Structure formats: structure tokens, C-alpha cells
Chains A and B, each alone.
Chain A
Amino acid sequence: MRWRPGPIFIILALAGLLPLLDIFLPPKLQMCEAVRGVFLYAILALGLNVVTGYAGMLNLGIAAFMAVGAYAFGILTCEIYPFQLGFWPALALTIPIGAIAGFILGAPTLGLRGDYLAIVTLGFGEIIQDVLKNLEVVTKGTQGINPLPAPNFGGGEWTANDEYKWYYLFFVLLVVTVIAARNLERSRLGRAWFSIREDEIASRSMGIRVERIKLIAFATAAAIAAFAGGLSASVLSSTGEPSNYDFQISILALCIVIVGGIGSIAGVLVGSLVMVGLNSIVLVKATAWMAANGIGSQGNVLLSPNNWKFLIFGLALILAVRLKPNGLIPPRIQRAKQ
């Protein structure tokens, strides 16, 4: 059989070659740093895709697990705490810590009607910010934990100037996540997830332990999100303040999955490019351009592109569900049905 590159391979290959183009562009048009953000959200959304795409459970608080990962990374590495691990062991530990957090929240609530879970995760996403803010002793409140370490191979610890090193680190970790997600999708576990998504009662009668399989999906998603959180804390060298992990982040991840193609890895990658591109490239550039030209400085609410964010996300969700229920790149299983 001849090998043909699939959509995932093509997207990743293009992303891997982007810096070659980037170094020839004038600094104003360079986009590696922005694309790095796309990679981070793609990792987060791949996590959400496990629980919402594969297992069909709506999770509205994925950012909370990102916060768990970021703070775990902070506490494990920062010099004011006793652990003081390096970058790699701490980043690796965010995965089991995220899984445990997901397990603790999921275990009591997963046996319930599916839509209750949406509310529980929404509530969790809201209160985790309160908890992080209120436990100042441990989390340093709104200051965030900093400074945090970066990887240090190839000549000393990286700084924010090592743009391309960070780019390829994110790229490699995204590729690892994609491979992991792809293998999960094709494993026995992945098939069980698809099965309960399509029909829970039928799956149960086929001998699938629905509660346990759901819990694994929930914890896996939490683990991947925590991993993304640890990574983002490292590149910023700070956990930032708790409100950095608010509902907007969860919804951005949800938009990526729904718009891109629910349950489809290639869809998540394209979705990240579209939604994050819109959110942190187009809107940010538009704001900067308008400020430079003196438009919207007089406080007119309609003239600040940032104020349109919720409207854009909301409409993206409504229209995606209505017009392209399977997303821009539908998953294999849906393509086969058509």
C-alpha cells in the first residue's frame, strides 16, 4: 500500500517548517511567537477533545485543570518552596497531578446525567480562581508564583529571547500529544469512549464499564490540560494571576474543538489555528492598529476589538453547531458515515 500523508501530518509538517520562512520576514510580520500560542491551545484542546470529543461529555472548566498544572509546576520548581525540581521532572509531574485532580472532581459526579457534569465543571472553573486567590499562603494570591525555570540544554537556561528554541519545544510537545491522542483514539479504551458517546446503555450491555471509562476520559483530559498549564507557566516564568485561567480560556478551548471538528485531531489543529489566530493575532493586531491610528481611544465600547470577543466566540459556537455540526474537519468516523 502506498503511504499518503494525512491532514494531521501535513499541518504538523507546515508548522515545523514555519521558522524557515519566519527568519526571512521583517520583524513586524514574524509569527513564530503567535503560533507558539496556537500550539499551546492545541495541546489544551486535544485534552478537551478526549473528554468532549471522544467520550461526549461537556467539560466547561478545562482551564481549571490548566491552572492546577501551572500551580503544580510553580510549587514544584520555585525556589521559595521545598521541592525545587528542574524543568523536566516538574513538567512530567504535572501530568499525574492533573489526572489526580480530574479523578477527585470526576469520581463523585460522573455517574450523573451528562448535562449536570457541564454545570459542575463550570462551577469548578469559577471557584478554582477563588480558591487560588484566597489561599495566599501557598499560591501568593494575585501575584502568582515566580520566577519559574526554563529548560537549559543548548547553552544555559533559556530566556524569552530564545524564540525558536521555545517554538520547537512547543512543537515537539504538540507532536507528542498528537501521537498520544492518536494512539488513544485507536486503542481499546478509545473505542470504548466512542461507544459510550454513541449509546451509553448499549455500551453498558456490551460489558463496558461506563463509569470507569468516563472517569478515565475525564482524568486524561485533566492530565493533558495540566501539562499545557505547566508549559505555559514555564514560558511565562510565572503562574500569573488566578484570573488568567478563567472561563474565557475554557470557552476558547471548547470553540476550538467544536469549530474544528469534535473528536477529530486534525480538526483540533485547524480549529486552534482559526480560533487562536482570531483571538490572539487578529484581535490583538487590530487593537494595536487602531490605537496607533487614534481610533477608539475615546472609550467607545464598540471601537475596541477586544470587546467583541464574547460575541465572536458565541456566534462561532451557534453557527458551528447549526451549519457544520461535525466541524471543519470531521472525524474519520463521521466522514465514513457521509
Chain B
Amino acid sequence: MLDFEVFTQQLITGLSNGMIIALIAIGYTMVYGIIELINFAHGDVFMLGAFLALTLLGALGMEAWGPSGQVFGVALMLIGSAVFCGGLNWSLDRLAYRSLRKSSKLSLLVSAIGCSFVCMNLGLFWGGAPMEVFSNGNSAAAPKHFPAIIPQINLLGDGFLRITPADLLVFTVTIPLMVGLTIMVKRTRLGRAMRAVAQDPTAASLMGIPVDRVIGATFFIGGALGGFASVIYSLYNNTIGFQMGTRAGLDAFTAAVLGGIGSLPGAVLGGLTIGCVRSMSDQYLETRWTNTIVFCILVLILIFRPNGLLGKTRKEKV
């Protein structure tokens, strides 16, 4: 294979993975934008979404469905995981964060870390479920194979470059979601309420905005995006495990910071950048150094451009 083709191929992989990272990053950035909390549990909510998708796939026997049935199956998993992750994220806010709104930021963060651990442990238990897709409950902690129910063909015929239906799926799911979200935040009542609460919760509540409900909705939407991301991640990478939330969370958070936390286009730009950096590093350096490179990027941005590529300068609230 020629150099240029290798590069382009890695770029396609990087962009696809980048879109998935971006979708998770939006969940971080929305929550951070509104209550200044790094929702540590977000990565693990994403992980549980993937487990739900695998459970649906196994329980309904989707592997045996015909091609058109599998399109329906993918749609079913997307919706199921989105609702599940949204609901889960909303419940975390309701149960573990809401009562701490008045406490120090440190308590809120610690509570979020606690939630992350609880979710991770639930993933471990889930991995031991007595189902065939979870290897009948043996070796719960081992990574699980996610069957590739999308055909693994090359849409470009016999050329060197490969674009698979999975690549296509990533873009057809993520782009409309991002556009829809941007319109929602800019145009709808809920979006306006979210921006108002982000600006100043007290003033917003004085204007009659139900602050807690708006924050809850933000958690739901962020979680739902993580749910969508979990399904396309699983279909794209075909391996899931109960510890994948931490890595995905770190990548997505790096992406959110790179783009400028609180900014939706920033999260997308950051996600694409991190995705490409990862695939280039896998190809041209060594896979085992990729995580280190991503971490170095995080530290470098924080030193030289703490507000990110597209973020606005904002003073820490007193």
C-alpha cells in the first residue's frame, strides 16, 4: 500500500472514531457548561449503554435477522441505549448531585467519582450475565465481543481504500444529532433556558425557569448522546468491556477541553482532532504510546490555551 493511501485510511478511521469521541465529549461539555461539574460517571454511563446494546442484540437474536431486519435492529439499539443512558444520567443527577448543589465543588466531584465507580461495578456484574453474548457468565471481567451485524464490505469496490458501512453509520448518526442539538440549544425554549441557567442560576430561577428541571434535562440529553455513541462505538470497534468507560471518558474530556469546554462546535472539533491523533499515533508511532500522547496533548493545551481552541475566556465564579 502506498504511503498516501495508508495515511488516508488512518484519517478515515480517525475521523470515525473522532465523531464518536465528539458525541461523548458533548455530554461532558453540556454538563460542565451548566453546573461546572466534570461528570466523571459519564464515561461509565456510556459503557453501560454498550452493555445494554449487546444485551438487546443477544436477547432478540439480531445476528440471525435479515439485512433489513438488522437496520431495524440497529435503530432499536440506538433508541434503547439512548433512552437508557439518558435516564441513567438523569437519575444520577437526581440521586447523587442535586442535593449537593449548595455544597462545595469538591463534594460534588467526589460524588461524581463515586457514581463512576458504582456504574463500573454494575458493568462488571452485567458482564457476568448468564447469556450467550456474555460468554454465559464465565469470566465476567473479560472484554466482550460485539458481533458485527453490519456487513463488513468495502463500499469503494476493490480499491485500496476501505470505507465500510460502519464508517457510514457513524456519520449518518452523529451529524444529524449534532445539528439537531445545536438547533435545539439555539432556538427552542429549553435551549434558551439551558443557556440562561448556565449564565446565572439564581437570575434564571427568578425569571421563572425551573432550574432543577432544566439541569435534569441537560443530564438526560448528554446521557442520551452517550447512549447513541455507545452503540456506534460497539458496532464500529466490536469489543466492549466494563473498564472502557475510563479511557473513553478521558479521551472525550480531553476533546472537550481541547475544543473549549462549554462549546458544542468545540467539542466536535476536539473530538475529531483526538480521533485523528490516536489513529496517526497507532500507525506511525506505536499503539502502546497512544494514551501517553493524548495525555501530553491535554497538558499542553491546559498550559498554552486553557480556554481551548474555540472557548471563550471566562472567569471562575466566585
Contacts from A to B (Cβ < 8 Å) = 52, 56, 58, 60, 108-109, 112-116, 118-120, 122-124, 126-127, 130-131, 133-134, 201, 247, 251, 254, 258, 262, 299-302, 307-311, 313-318, 320-322, 325
CB-CB < 8 A to A318: which residues of B?
96, 111, 114-115, 118
- Asked whether, in the complex, the Cβ of B105 is within 8 Å of the Cβ of A317, the reply is no
| A–B pairs, 10, beta carbons within 8 Å | A115-B109, A123-B298, A127-B291, A201-B318, A262-B106, A307-B140, A314-B115, A317-B113, A318-B96, A321-B111
What residues of A have a CB within 8 angstroms of the CB of B105 in the complex? 114-115
Stretch at the interface among B4-12, B66-74, B122-130: B122-130
Known: A126-B295, A131-B292, A301-B128. A314 touches B250 (CB 8 A): no
Give the CA-CA distance A122 to B302 in the complex, in Å. 14
Assembled-state Cα–Cα distance A262/B109 (Å): 14
Which residues on the A side are within 8 Å of B104 (C-beta)? Answer: 56
Report the interface size class on chain B: 35 or more
Q: How far is the CB of A310 from chain B (nearest CB, A)?
A: 4
Which residues of B are at the interface with A, using a C-beta cutoff of 8 A? 36-38, 96, 99-100, 103-107, 109-111, 113-122, 124-125, 127-128, 137-141, 246-247, 250, 253-254, 257, 288-289, 291-292, 295, 298-299, 302-303, 306, 316, 318
B-chain residues with CB within 8 Å of residue A58 when the two chains form the complex: 106, 109-110
A35 CA to B127 CA in the complex, in Å?
34
- B121 and A311 within 8 A (CB): yes
- Alpha-carbon distance between A60 and B117 when the two chains are bound, in angstroms: 13
Cα A247 to Cα B118 in complex, Å, equals 15
Contact B118 A314 (CB under 8 A): yes
Q: Which residues of A contact B111 (CB under 8 A)?
A: 317-318, 321-322
> Does the CB pair B38–A300 fall under 8 Å?
no
Q: Least Cβ distance of A115 to chain B in Å?
A: 5
Most B-side CB within 10 Å, residue of A310, A313, A325: A310
Contact A310 B109, beta carbon cutoff 8 Å: no
Shortest 5 CB-CB distances between A and B: which pairs? Answer: A301-B128, A314-B117, A317-B114, A301-B140, A318-B114
